[in-house]
Amino acid sequence: MQIAFCLYKYFPFGGLQRDFLRIALACQARGHRIRAYTLEWRGDVPAGFEVVLVPVRALSNPRRYAKFSHWVGQDLAARAADRVVGFNKMPGLDVYFAADPCFEDKARTLRSALYRLSGRYRHFSAYERAVFGAEARTEILLISPLQKPLFQKYYATAEERFHLLPPGIARDRRAPENAAEIRAAFRHEFALAADDLLLLQLGSGFKTKGLDRSLKALATLPAALAKRCRLFAIGDDEAKLFHAQARALGVADRVRILRGRSDIPRFLLGADLLIHPAYNENTGTVLLEAMVAGLPVLTTAVCGYAHFVSDADAGRVVPEPFEQACLNRLLAQILSDEPARRQWQSRALAFAEQADIYSNAERAAELILKEKA
């Protein structure tokens, strides 16, 4: 079969992009041909992939996305595909990988009524309805059950069109047998003393992931802890505002903000705590990546995968509604309690042995390739 994948941008370090790549490779491994439509591709192209850079431009993203879907539709009319799979909401999809939250709910609960008069709202609302509307036939691959009631509230989407996937954690995130050696080498490379405490924050989109909250919490640590503690934040995003915030809070000398990189497993093994105080997160794959590496987690309850942290007793979850003081308090408690961190590490590694959290791509490929009704 010829499978066409559509996503606006591909870069190697985005969570959505890594999901796309794993699923496309799983389809290819079953003998099917892969064509990827995108506006931008950064990084290597896997062998056998046909990457189509869609040649459209516009002054605004909504207009550019509209031109993208129109161009792809014309190309598919000339070069048909057996399945069209989208990783962004757009018309014409057979299957949609639902990584993003419900736009309509955010527009109605977090924005003023005037926003719903804008061209931006009309575009994204229409594109979401093209996928979830009651009259649509797109099959929906859910990676978190949290958003399904919202889609059904606004669009009356049929229950049978939703397919819940297990998480898809890459097995290379699991702690290897020589984890202690990797940790020691990593900490030597970054000049971390034996009693230094490294907080790690991962993910592109620093604002959404709550890097500002992490910096505030770091600034409130008691002096004895503060002098031992450093924060590394890694992601493909603009860091200027967060560097300024770190300076204003007096923690700039303890903070490093790095671009996305391919050696994340080393950071997971070298750190002492993953901090992920996200404002909004459909899943939070990084929470599970930390757990399978044996890294305790401090996160927020809005993350779709936060329940795994609680279920496995592998860290702490800040409840909703979020309070900065609660995050500050929990961070100080966790960093002061080495025995608890060791217990969370042990429980996280035990969770990694038995949990079904690795088969997302394989299950998605099965559903994509399933015969149409």
How do residues 1-21 score in pLDDT, each as one tens digit? 999 999 999 998 888 999 999
Are the C-beta atoms of residues 174 and 293 closer than 8 Å to each other?
Answer: yes
302 CB-contact burial (10 Å; exposed 0-12 / middle 13-18 / buried 19+)? buried
HSE of 263, CA atoms in CB hemisphere, 13 A: 7
In the numeric block, the tokens 């955010």 are attached to 106
Cis amide bond preceding 321, omega within 30 = yes
Report the 3 state secondary structure along the chain: CEEEEECCEECCCCHHHHHHHHHHHHHHHCCCEEEEEECEECCCCCCCEEEEECCCCCCCHHHHHHHHHHHHHHHHHHCCCCEEEECCCCCCCCEEEECCCCHHHHHHHCCCHHHHHCHHHHHHHHHHHHHHCCCCCCEEEECCHHHHHHHHHHHCCCHHHEEECCCCCCHHHCCCCCHHHHHHHHHHHCCCCCCCEEEEEECCCHHHHCHHHHHHHHHCCCHHHHCCEEEEEECCCCCHHHHHHHHHHCCHHHEEEECCCCCHHHHHHHCCEEEECCCCCCCCHHHHHHHHCCCCEEEECCCCCHHHHHHHCCEEEECCCCCHHHHHHHHHHHHHCHHHHHHHHHHHHHHHHHCCCCCHHHHHHHHHHCCCC
Distances (CA, A) of 280 to 77, 170, 306: 37, 23, 12
pLDDT at 132: 98
Rounded Cα–Cα distance for residues 43 and 140 (Å): 28
CA 153 to CA 156: how far, in whole Å?
A: 6
How far apart CA 159 and CA 198 sit, in angstroms, is 44
Looking at residue 373, its pLDDT comes to 55
- The dihedrals phi and psi of 241, each to the nearest 5 degrees, come to -65, -35
Amino acid residing at 329: R
> What is the Rg, in whole angstroms, of the alpha carbon atoms belonging to the chain?
21
Pair type for strands 297-300 and 197-202:
unpaired
**pLDDT at site 154:** 98
Q: Tokens at residue 231, please?
A: 């924060």
With beta carbons less than 8 A apart as the criterion, state whether 205 and 237 touch: yes
Identify the structural domains of the chain with CATH numbers, from first to last: 2-168+358-369 (3.40.50.2000), 171-354 (3.40.50.2000)
Contact 292, 348 (CB under 8 A): yes
CB-based burial label for 162 (10 Å; 0-12, 13-18, 19+):
middle
Distance CA 60, CA 40 (A): 16
Q: For the chain, list residues with pLDDT below 70.
A: 373
This prediction has a pTM of 0.81
Among 211, 364, 371, residue whose Cα is nearest residue 300: 211
